[in-house]
């Protein structure tokens, strides 16, 4: 059998009922092209991976890459592309919303014309989003506008999840990819060292028939994180910036609780300070769990265990903070240098250690 010229990477999460129809349609659309399909499944509870493997036993063009304990559309696409050796790679949703009929034209464009990347576009003449409600249309328009801040290329539909590229284009952007969230094309465009020669082809975004969309508040938040990473990520990691910002907010909580304890409840200083410290650590844990680690959010008893580990880590961080600060204060009398150095050492410790122990994923 010939090695494939084209790999279609298909991220899946709970798409069981769409797999067989999709492979059937690919088979028809791609007749005459040596292709393969790589499904990248994040251990879907509905058993999508098993359905793909059953199909793969009968059809060698189909493969399954199953990831356990992880989620993420972008990272799934990246790993799917990395698992392929074909010179041309397409990324496409596995829920039948993208028009597979466009694939042969995308392929011919890359093979015969001087382009590196072909994007299936909803926002040029001939394309469309079908029956989206006004809310989703507006949100998509706003996100498209924001995306232009970070791409070097003029593109009508930077949020498209449907595109085909030369493998070299992907490799060019690979070292810089954020790999976070939902927007893999945007990530590739923003990470490319040399702007790819790009062409958009129109298609009509179809309605979903089986299963449901995974686009939710988390996806919106991850989009914001991707933008921030591309804008400031080269200076400071976005996660650390958020962690530090929340840490600063924790200082306010601490002072407020301390003040209440001392002035309105009339507790002793030590008691008030202890309560304030616990309150600040608790608030910081939940804020970080919600925002900084939205993608690894701990729930139920895991959250409780995370909270306890966070207390322990922050206590050690405080010891390091005070130790370093006191040492520096002895060495040179400037109190603010000592204070800031202590804070930096303490927060870097808290961040680094909690990222490994508290929000380690599975």
**Least CB distance from residue 328 to Mn ion, whole Å?**
55
Choose the binding region for ligand GDD from 9-17, 193-201, 270-278, 313-321 (rule: CB under 6 A).
9-17
∠64-70-74 over CA atoms, to 5°? 75
Q: Are 196 and 178 in contact (CB under 8 A)?
A: no
In the complex, minimum distance from the CB of residue 17 to ligand GDD, in angstroms, rounded to a whole number: 11
Q: From the CB of 93, what's the least distance to Mn ion, in Å?
A: 5
Which residue from 170, 182, 310, 359 is in contact with ligand GDD, where contact means CB under 6 A?
Answer: 182
H/E segment holding residue 191 = helix 184-191
Q: Quick one: DSSP state of residue 94?
A: S
Q: Which of 88, 107, 115, 162 binds ligand GDD (CB under 6 A)?
A: 162
Interface with ligand GDD in residues 255-294 (CB under 6 A): none
Residue 336 neighbours by CB distance under 10 Å: 7
Q: Which member of 8, 38, 42, 349 binds ligand GDD (CB under 6 A)?
A: 42
Distance separating alpha carbons of residues 66 and 111, to the nearest angstrom: 30
Cα 295 to the center of its chain, rounded Å: 8
> Which of positions 10-29 make contact with ligand GDD (CB under 6 A)?
11-13, 15
Residue window 75-94: x/- pattern of binding to Mn ion, with contact defined by CB under 5 A:
------------------x-
Among ligand GDD, Mn ion, none, the one that 214 touches (CB under a kind-dependent 5 to 8 A) is ligand GDD
315: its two tokens:
């206590």
Q: Output the six-digit token pair for 143.
A: 């996100």
Provide the minimum distance between the beta carbon of 162 and Mn ion in the complex, in angstroms, as a whole number. 10
Q: Give how far Cα 255 sits from Cα of 103, 248, 262, 275, Å.
A: 60, 11, 10, 11
Q: How many CB atoms lie within 10 A of CB 245?
A: 13
Q: Please, what sign has the CA dihedral across residues 42, 47, 48, 53?
A: positive
Beta-carbon neighbour count of residue 124 at 10 Å?
A: 15
Q: Which stretch binds ligand GDD (CB under 6 A): 49-57, 212-220, 251-259, 346-354?
A: 212-220
Q: How far is the CB of 59 from ligand GDD (least distance, A)?
A: 19
With contacts defined by CB under 6 A, name the span among 71-79, 236-244, 285-293, 344-352 that binds ligand GDD: 71-79
- Tell me whether residue 75 is exposed, middle or buried, using C-beta atoms within 10 angstroms of its C-beta: 0 to 12, 13 to 18, 19 or more: buried
Residue of 12, 14, 97, 151 that binds Mn ion (CB under 5 A): 97
Residues lying near ligand GDD in the complex (CB under 6 A): 11-13, 15, 40-42, 71-73, 76, 93-95, 97, 159-162, 182-183, 205, 213-215
Residues lying near Mn ion in the complex (CB under 5 A): 93, 95, 97
């Amino acid at each position: 059998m010939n090695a494939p010229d084209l790999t279609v990477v298909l991220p899946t999460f709970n798409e069981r009922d769409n797999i067989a129809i999709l492979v059937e349609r690919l088979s028809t659309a791609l007749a005459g092209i040596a292709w393969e399909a790589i499904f990248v499944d994040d251990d879907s509870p509905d058993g999508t991976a098993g359905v793909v493997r059953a199909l793969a036993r009968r059809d060698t063009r189909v493969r399954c890459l199953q990831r356990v304990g992880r989620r993420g559309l972008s990272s799934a696409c990246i790993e799917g592309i990395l698992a392929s050796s074909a010179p041309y790679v397409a990324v496409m949703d596995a829920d039948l919303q993208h028009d597979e009929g466009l694939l042969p034209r995308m392929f011919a464009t890359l093979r015969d014309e001087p382009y590196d990347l072909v994007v299936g576009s909803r926002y040029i003449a001939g394309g469309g989003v079908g029956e989206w409600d006004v809310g989703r249309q507006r949100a998509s328009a706003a996100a498209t506008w924001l995306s232009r801040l970070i791409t070097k290329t003029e593109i009508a539909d930077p949020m498209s999840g449907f595109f085909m590229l030369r493998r070299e284009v992907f490799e060019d952007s690979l070292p810089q990819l954020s790999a976070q969230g939902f927007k893999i094309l945007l990530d590739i465009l923003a990470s490319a060292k040399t702007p790819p020669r790009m062409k958009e082809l129109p298609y009509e975004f179809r309605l979903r028939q089986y299963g449901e969309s995974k686009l939710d508040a988390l996806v919106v938040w991850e989009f914001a994180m991707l933008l921030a990473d591309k804008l400031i990520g080269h200076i400071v990691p976005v996660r650390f910036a958020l962690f530090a910002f929340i840490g600063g907010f924790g200082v306010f909580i601490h002072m407020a609780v301390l003040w209440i304890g001392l002035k309105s409840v009339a507790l002793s200083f030590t008691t008030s300070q202890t309560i304030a410290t616990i309150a600040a650590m608790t608030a910081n844990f939940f804020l970080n769990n919600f925002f900084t680690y939205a993608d690894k959010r701990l729930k139920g008893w895991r959250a409780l265990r995370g909270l306890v580990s966070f207390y322990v880590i922050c206590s050690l961080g405080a010891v390091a903070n005070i130790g370093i600060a006191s040492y520096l204060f002895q060495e040179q009398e400037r109190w603010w240098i000592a204070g800031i150095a202590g804070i930096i050492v303490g927060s870097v410790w808290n961040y680094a250690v909690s990222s490994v122990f508290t929000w380690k994923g599975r």
